[in-house]
Amino acid sequence: MKVLLVNLGRGWGGGQEQLTDLATELTEQGDTIHFLCRSGSFSVPRLNRLGFTVNEFNGTVAGVLRTARLIIAEQYDAVLATREHDLVKIALAWKLACLAGTSGRFVMAYHTATSRRQLFITVPDAIVCISNYVRDKLLKGNQIDAHRLHIIHNGIAEEQVLSEGKFCRNRTRTIFKEAEFPSIGMVGAYFKNQQELVAITPQLKAAFPNLRVILLGNRDEPTLLTPLQKQIRALSLEQTVIISEPVERARMNEVFADLDLSVSTFRNEGFGLVHLESLAAGTPVVAYDEGGQVDILENSGAGILVHGGMNEFAKAVIGLLYDDQQRYAMGRKGAELVRTQFSRATMAAAYRHILSGERAL
């Protein structure tokens, strides 16, 4: 199968990481994968370095016409677009290619939650949502035939091997070497409501004076980062809340292995790839009972979904930090959950069925 994967975003984040993982797994299964990316974006050099064929989208009308010619010339078996903002452009290119006799399938995948009316939503042969939360939001503003709508959860590579040393308060930590128990962390872009975590940190610190809260995101976002830094200073938490330097993705398993808990105060997560990475490292997750992470954590025994607000969230974190036995049991369950239900291979197999015209597994 020959597939064109489309993401016209300027930056690089979880969506691009997931798409790269999907491309890698499909390639290993024998498929031919090409990309279409915005000219000048971070994706172009990164994907080129990984050895993928990368086509560049430049301009609007001209870009649509060039994309139509590309689809006609390459005769892709399937085109998969993965951003809400790309739907109109790629749908128009697809329609033009179809007028020239192109066959195959056009699939649209939604990674973020939106209830906005989607122009050209009737064009794709199938629509994928990465969680029930994303699907439910999409259906609030759009009518979609049930047979065209599918849920495919993200997955990650099965590379993590848990060491029993992980389940020890005083273990050696490899990324945050000076951290000690308890160390909790939140990984994600700095628009994900980290302010709420900082706001409850004094309550957490009262229970655990040696607490470290580690925030890891893109430090090149000053409009997002500066208010967070001001909040940390205002609460005199400079020695408690650490804004980490960036860590390459290949070492994220070490980041999560260093943490005693992974937490998230974001209520609008499309899915939460970072939660899978945390669970794979044996680190339980505490998050709100809202967003795509519910699909991962509900009834899993691998973390806690908090009902309520900041006070309930703080109590959940404190309770789990006090209870080593429960925390370690959750860590083991989380690693098994990822291995059995959220692997990269499982994700790719489901996409392959949709792209080839079959129902998802």
Model confidence over 51-70: pLDDT tens digits? 999 999 999 999 999 999 99
Region of 286 (left: φ > 0; alpha: ψ -120 to 50; beta: rest) is beta
pLDDT interval class at 137 (50, 70, 90)? very high
Instruction: Note down the domain range covering 90.
Output: 2-155+343-355
Token pair for 136:
């439910």
Q: Are residues 99 and 211 in the same domain?
A: no
Q: Are residues 23 and 77 in the same domain?
A: yes
Q: Are residues 146 and 168 in the same domain?
A: no
Asked whether residue 45 is assigned to any structural domain, the reply reads: yes
Q: Are residues 182 and 303 in the same domain?
A: yes
Measured CA to CA, the distance from residue 100 to residue 235 in angstroms comes to 63
The stretch 11-36 carries a mean pLDDT of: 93
Q: How many CB atoms lie within 10 A of CB 139?
A: 14
Q: Are residues 178 and 258 in the same domain?
A: yes
**Is residue 158's pLDDT more than 80?**
no
Q: Are residues 330 and 189 in the same domain?
A: yes
Q: Are 361 and 349 in contact (CB under 8 A)?
A: yes
Model confidence over 192-244: pLDDT tens digits? 999 999 999 999 999 999 999 999 998 877 899 999 999 999 999 999 999 99
Q: Are residues 215 and 142 in the same domain?
A: no
Q: Are 108 and 87 in contact (CB under 8 A)?
A: yes
Asked whether residue 360 is assigned to any structural domain, the reply reads: no
Asked whether residue 361 is assigned to any structural domain, the reply reads: no
For the chain, how many structural domains are there in total? 2
Q: Is 201 helix (H, G, I), strand (E, B) or coil?
A: helix
DSSP string, 253-294: HHHHHH-SEEEE--S--SS-HHHHHHHHTT--EEEES-STTH
The stretch 76-92 carries a mean pLDDT of: 96
**What's the confidence (pLDDT) of residue 159?**
65
Asked whether residue 333 is assigned to any structural domain, the reply reads: yes
The stretch 339-361 carries a mean pLDDT of: 87
For residue 185, which phi and psi values (nearest 5 degrees)? -150, 155
Region of 291 (left: φ > 0; alpha: ψ -120 to 50; beta: rest) is left
- Among 312, 322, 310, 295, smallest CA distance to 194 is for 310
**What's the confidence (pLDDT) of residue 360?**
44
CATH of the domain at 12: 3.40.50.2000
Measured CA to CA, the distance from residue 269 to residue 328 in angstroms comes to 25
CA gyration radius, the chain: 21
Asked whether residue 337 is assigned to any structural domain, the reply reads: yes
**What's the confidence (pLDDT) of residue 220?**
77
Measured CA to CA, the distance from residue 132 to residue 318 in angstroms comes to 29
